[in-house]
Structure 1
Amino acid sequence: MNLTPTEIERLTLFSAAEMARRNLREGILLSHPEVVALLADEVMLAARKNLAYDAVIDHATTLLRAEQCEPGVPDMVRIVAVDAPFPDGTKLVTLIDPIAPAANDIRPGEVIVGDDPVELFPGAERVTLTVVNRGDRDIQVRSQAHFFETNPALEFDRRASWGHKLDVPSGGGVRFEPGIPVDVQLIPMAGARVAQGFSGLVDGALDADGALEAAMTGGAS
């Protein structure tokens, strides 16, 4: 029996789908690959049976429940796209969120906080500056950046920003569109107050004697 690469892949998919079906019968929660294999196999089978396109999608999206999968798997399987062999030709079948998460499911990467509000940087002294992007394209500044060393196309009081960063949650940022003034709040950088990298204007202790004046001479405006 000679098989094409596509036919070999189909057999591999079928084997994985059969394993998923076996695990379901045994009450074993399905992993991400098993879920994808089962859904893809059922889509291809339904297409071979000449079900209507919409009926194929309806069938596939009712096969599994969140409680039949490992925790977090339903949220990982957001889109499944399958080239399915209908009698009138191959068509792309796309399943969107085929497994609805169960109530109170934990989503991968989800941040779970308490009932009380979380205060960012309590006690930090804030500095408010107006920033104008004098360039011709958007500029984004992230939470960890030493604001003094940001893109030279940003116009603001550089001296007042020395040793400060954005007052935003870690990983956040602010986007500055050309010509539009934006008011931002800054807070002092904490810890050892050593700035390395960025624009290379400090590369050392922020509170060292002469560091600010040397950085101002080094190109910040």
Structure 2
Amino acid sequence: MNLTPTEMERLTVFTAAELARRNLREGVLLSHPEAVALLVDEVMLAARKNMAYDEVIDHAAALLCAEQCEPGVPDMVRIVAVDASFPDGTKLVTLIDPIARGDNDIRPGEIIVGDEPVELFPGLQRVSLTVVNRGDRDIQVRSQAHFFETNPALEFDRRAAWGHKLDVPSGGGVRFEPGIPVDVALVPMGGARVAQGFSGLVNGSLDADGALEAAL
């Protein structure tokens, strides 16, 4: 039996859809590929059964609910477009949000915050510095940067900044506009206190003997 690429894809979709049906029977929540395969297979089957276009969409929209899928899956399946073979020709069937989200469904990438504020770097001693950008364009420093090694156009007490980084949440930063003094708070870098890269002034332990003087 010789199969065309389209027929091979159809068999792949059917196999994945059968896996999804088995999982549903066993009470196993569907993953994203399984949910999509089930929706596509049912659309293509309904089209072959000569169901009306609107009936096909209504049928697919009633197949799954959020409780049958892994958390986050309904929000990942926003649009499903299927070229389905109807008796009168191929038509594009588009499903919009075919899996209704549950009240407590988690959205991928969603940030779930607690009831209490989170204290950044509790117990660490802060260092306050005034920084002036002596360059001619904005300079932005990110949260993970070893502040001592930031752009030479930034004027501040470099010695006091040794082994410190900005007291901001991870991924945040501070922008320094030319000529405008900015007060910043720094906290000691934690972990193994090894600085690699940046301006290449350390590339080793921040606490090694002579490291600060060598960098200066």
CA drift of 1:148 comes to 2.0
1:9 corresponds to 2:9: yes
Which of 29, 50, 53 pairs up with 1:51?
53
The aligned counterpart of 1:219 is none
State which drifts further: 199-208 or 19-28: 19-28
- What letter corresponds to residue 198 of structure 1 in structure 2? F
Q: Residues 79-118 of structure 1: matches in 2 within 5 Å?
A: 79-85=78-84, 91=92, 93=94, 95-96=96-97, 98-105=98-105, 114-118=114-118
The aligned counterpart of 1:143 is 143
Structure 1 residues 85-140: Cα deviation after superposition (integer angstroms, max 9, x where no partner)? 476766484645x434433345667666653322111233142444649476x866
Tell me if the contact between 1:133 and 1:139 (Cα under 8 Å) persists in the aligned partners: no
Change (3 A) 1:214 1:63: same
- Aligned-residue CA RMSD in angstroms? 3.9
Alpha-carbon distance between aligned partners in 1 of 2:155 and 2:2, rounded to the nearest angstrom: 71
Structure 1 residues 169-217: Cα deviation after superposition (integer angstroms, max 9, x where no partner)? 33x122648759665432122345332333220123334454334323x
State which drifts further: 105-114 or 121-130: 105-114
CA drift of 1:64 comes to 1.2
Alpha-carbon distance between aligned partners in 1 of 2:56 and 2:32, rounded to the nearest angstrom: 21
- What letter corresponds to residue 127 of structure 1 in structure 2? S
Tell me if the contact between 1:145 and 1:165 (Cα under 8 Å) persists in the aligned partners: yes
Tell me if the contact between 1:163 and 1:193 (Cα under 8 Å) persists in the aligned partners: yes
Change (3 A) 1:28 1:119: closer
Alpha-carbon distance between aligned partners in 2 of 1:57 and 1:179, rounded to the nearest angstrom: 58
Tell me if the contact between 2:36 and 2:77 (Cα under 8 Å) persists in the aligned partners: no
- What letter corresponds to residue 118 of structure 1 in structure 2? V
Alpha-carbon distance between aligned partners in 1 of 2:95 and 2:150, rounded to the nearest angstrom: 43
Which blocks of at least 5 consecutive residues in structure 2 are unaligned? Answer: none
Which of structures 1 and 2 has the bigger CA Rg? 2
State which drifts further: 143-152 or 205-214: 205-214
The aligned counterpart of 1:198 is 198
Tell me if the contact between 2:134 and 2:155 (Cα under 8 Å) persists in the aligned partners: no
The aligned counterpart of 1:18 is 18
Alpha-carbon distance between aligned partners in 2 of 1:180 and 1:4, rounded to the nearest angstrom: 68
Structure 1 residues 62-98: Cα deviation after superposition (integer angstroms, max 9, x where no partner)? 43111112345445x34454342476766484645x4
- What letter corresponds to residue 147 of structure 1 in structure 2? F
**Normalised TM-score (structure 2):** 0.69
Tell me if the contact between 2:132 and 2:178 (Cα under 8 Å) persists in the aligned partners: no
1:186 corresponds to 2:186: yes
- What letter corresponds to residue 154 of structure 2 in structure 1? E
**Helix, strand or coil for the counterpart of 2:11?**
helix
- What letter corresponds to residue 39 of structure 1 in structure 2? L
1:42 corresponds to 2:42: yes
Which blocks of at least 5 consecutive residues in structure 1 are unaligned? Answer: 217-221
Residue identity (%): 66
**Normalised TM-score (structure 1):** 0.68
**Helix, strand or coil for the counterpart of 2:187?**
strand
Alpha-carbon distance between aligned partners in 2 of 1:94 and 1:6, rounded to the nearest angstrom: 21
Change (3 A) 1:166 1:11: same
1:155 corresponds to 2:154: yes
